[in-house]
Structure 1
Amino acid sequence: MKIVHIADLHLGKSINELSMEEDQEYILKQILDIIKKESADTVVIAGDIYDRSIPPVSAISLFDWFLTEVKKEKCSIFCVGGNHDSGQRLDFGKTIFDKQNIFIEGKFSGNIRVIEMEDAYGKICFHMLPFFKPLQVRAYNPKLKIGDASDAMKEVLRQHEVNQNVRNILITHQFVTGTDSMECSDSEMEICVGGADQISYRLFDAFDYVALGHLHGPQKAGRESIRYSGSPLKYSFSEEYHKKSVTVIEFFQKGKMEIHTVLLKPLHEMRTIRGEMKELLKPEVVALADPKDYIRAKLTDQEELLDPAAKLRDVYPNLMELMIEKNEKILKEDKMLSFKQKSPEDLMKSFLELLTGEKEEKRINYLKELFLEGRKNL
């Protein structure tokens, strides 16, 4: 059985008020091409189908179109809810979908749903576990002491029986960690800091493969067969250097599988440009890459600029972020002095150096004159 593993579609997402719908349709078509070329039997979607619990109608239509196209390839589909999804809404029509081999588990029900399939090597079980919080597990087990996400997962797995004589795939949307630090982007930074949401990969020894969603960077968690497919598109500039892909797993007999990734090419790249305005606007600089990329511009001009965003958008139409990098260097001898300890002259010097990065005697002398004149008028 050959499986295509994807996750974190975030359909309906906008970045800085710019809709990603066209990009998402483009990348889903690319995923469909991969499904066809790989002759996949099954598609696994490990959560965060939508970007918010009440997605726009256009996002629902896009997902409907994608499922329809996948079914034309006679693939089975397994889909679990993520933390961005509404489990109740995803579960709509699931009984009808089951009959079409489209298995959706949107809401955590206290148990792990198991779907059994067959291939040339025998039985293969898909264990479907949508995103859940510890309090949801406590609701089903009020007498147990359940603290963090790890405790909650241990309890859910303790109650779940896994037949070790067959191949088992777990599909879940949780923050599973390996022995190395995990690569997080801005959208997951909250779960990466602290540790209360972290779940050790060692809890999943009973499963041959664990299809994860949650982290946007494709990566393993502990062992090669516990993997985040990552998001198919870059959704923040912290993902600028991600190599987006889909994960393809081919299962043979128990204990034997092959895993590889297929790179995705977005409609628009996401990249950062940095320099003075006049340099970034030069035709030879603009021509270095596609000017229609999603751009974060960091301007290093020290003088004030008139409407820099409009000027940049003339050549970079998909400008998403604009940052003005003033020289924020402060004199070493000033670092230990509080503002209260500084004289008016010191404050003027520090202010001008912070603003311009240079010691401008003319401006300092001019400010001195204004200061002295002001004192006379007191």
Structure 2
Amino acid sequence: MRILHTSDWHLGRSFHREGMLTHQGAFVDHLLEVVERERVDLVVVAGDIYDRALPQVDAVRLASETLGRLAASRAKVVLTSGNHDSAQRLGFGSELIDAAGVFIRTDASRVDVPVLLEDEHGPVAVYGIPYLDPDTVREPWQLSARSHAAALGEAMRRVRTDLSDRRGARSVVLAHAFVAGRVEDAGDLASDSERDISVGGVSIVPTSVFDGVSYAALGHLHGRHTLTDTIRYSGSPLAYSFSEARQHKGSWLIELGAAGTSHAEFIDAPVPRPLATLRGDLETLLSDASLAEHEGSWLQVTLTDTVRPLQAMDRLRRRFPHTLMLGFESTAPVVGGLSHRREPARRDRDLVADFIAELRGASASADELALLGRAVDACCEDPEVDMHLSEESSESAEPETEWAEVLF
């Protein structure tokens, strides 16, 4: 049996305000091409079909079209709900949809009811385990601990009980969770675009939970990962954060032989627009010929100029029109840093001028100071006084003032 493992489509998600539905539709086209080209028998989608519990209309339309096309293909389909999905909405009408060869599994109480398939080597039992919220299943399942490991451990206990009655059957399990061989490995697996699912600081599920399974198709982490030869993450088909800039996106093509998983091949997905992160001073970034390859990329840029350049984003976008994020790395002191000194009373005009100089790293020009002065005066009841504190009010003030730190 040839299995195509994918997950974390997040239909309807945007990338720093850039719409992704067109790119997600292109991935669906690619997915159907792979099904036919590679003669795929089973497509498994391990959760997070949508990006939110109440998806937008266009995302629902794309999902409907996708499942319709998959139902008309040569492959059967099993998909589960993830932590971004609404299990109730995604699972609506699943009993009717089963008849089309698309099996939607979102009910935690039925994790031990497999989709039964056959190939030349015999039966294959496919168990779809939806995302399990420990708080939701703890009472009905009488779990001894409030954790993802306890919830998924109980789900797999139920799966093994059912599987024990199906002698000779190979098993495929879909699960949506944070699985790692060791807790120490967790930091190397995650990316910024994944929603935290920790409960009381506990989210890691050990790989041993899936011992004995022919293949475990995991979802939740957005990077592809091979935890063991039989336990893998496909990752998301598209990058959803700049932390994923170096990840290869796609799906796993799994060959399930007579004795279990016999071969795995990663099928790269199309890249709608590459991601890159650039760092340096503005003039270098604008003039460096070696950066031409990034002129069509989505960019995250960090500027290192000592003096913050004016109109930096506009100037960057003239060369790099798809710059989405701009940050500044400067040796200048942080604006609004904590201060315990007692400062003498000062005019609002002076405070505003100092603020501009500290933020920019250089003083405002004469014309800018004149404009700022008029703005300050317009906010004061008496421009001549300019909110100047009297000697008496200064003496009665608190001896120390703390300013909350503001980051720019």
TM-score range (shorter-chain normalised) is 0.7 to 0.9
Structure 1 unpaired stretches of 5+: 331-337, 345-350, 359-376
Q: Which amino acid letter does the alignment assign opposite residue 61 of structure 1? A: R
CA contact (8 A) 1:52 1:85 kept: yes
1:151 matched residue in structure 2: 150
1:321 matched residue in structure 2: 325
Mapped to 1, the partners of 2:358 and 2:36 lie a distance apart of 58
Q: CA deviation at 1:20?
A: 1.3
CA contact (8 A) 2:303 2:329 kept: yes
1:257 matched residue in structure 2: 262
2:379 matched residue in structure 1: none
- Of 278, 283, 287 in structure 2, the residue corresponding to residue 282 of structure 1 is 287
Q: CA deviation at 1:354?
A: 8.8
- Of 201, 207, 223 in structure 1, the residue corresponding to residue 207 of structure 2 is 201
Deviates more, 1:56-65 or 1:171-180: 171-180
Q: CA deviation at 1:194?
A: 7.6
CA contact (8 A) 1:41 1:74 kept: yes
- What percent identity do the matched residue pairs reach? 32
1:348 matched residue in structure 2: none
CA contact (8 A) 2:2 2:40 kept: yes
2:12 matched residue in structure 1: 12
Deviates more, 1:76-85 or 1:99-108: 99-108
Aligned pairs for 1:1-378 within 5 A: 1-109=1-109, 111-142=111-142, 144-160=143-159, 161=161, 162-163=163-164, 165-179=168-182, 181-182=185-186, 183-188=189-194, 190-191=196-197, 196-221=202-227, 223-282=228-287, 284-289=289-294, 291-327=295-331
Q: CA deviation at 1:15?
A: 2.2
Q: TM-score scaled to structure 1, two decimals?
A: 0.82
Q: CA deviation at 1:227?
A: 0.6
CA contact (8 A) 2:215 2:261 kept: no
Q: Which amino acid letter does the alignment assign opposite residue 219 of structure 1? A: H
Which runs of structure 1 show a deviation greater than 6 angstroms over 4 or more consecutive aligned residues? 341-344, 353-358
Q: Secondary structure at the match of 1:301?
A: coil
Q: Secondary structure at the match of 1:220?
A: strand
Q: CA deviation at 1:282?
A: 2.9
Mapped to 2, the partners of 1:227 and 1:194 lie a distance apart of 26
C-alpha deviations, 1:275-300, integer Å up to 9, x for none?
Answer: 222222237355223x2321111112
Mapped to 1, the partners of 2:77 and 2:138 lie a distance apart of 30
Change (3 A) 1:52 1:343: closer
CA RMSD of aligned residues (A): 2.9
Structure 2 unpaired stretches of 5+: 345-354, 363-389, 392-408
Q: Which has the larger radius of gyration?
A: 2
Q: CA deviation at 1:135?
A: 1.7
Change (3 A) 1:193 1:150: closer
CA contact (8 A) 1:89 1:106 kept: no
1:335 matched residue in structure 2: none
Mapped to 2, the partners of 1:283 and 1:157 lie a distance apart of 55
Task: Give the length in aligned residue pairs.
Answer: 345
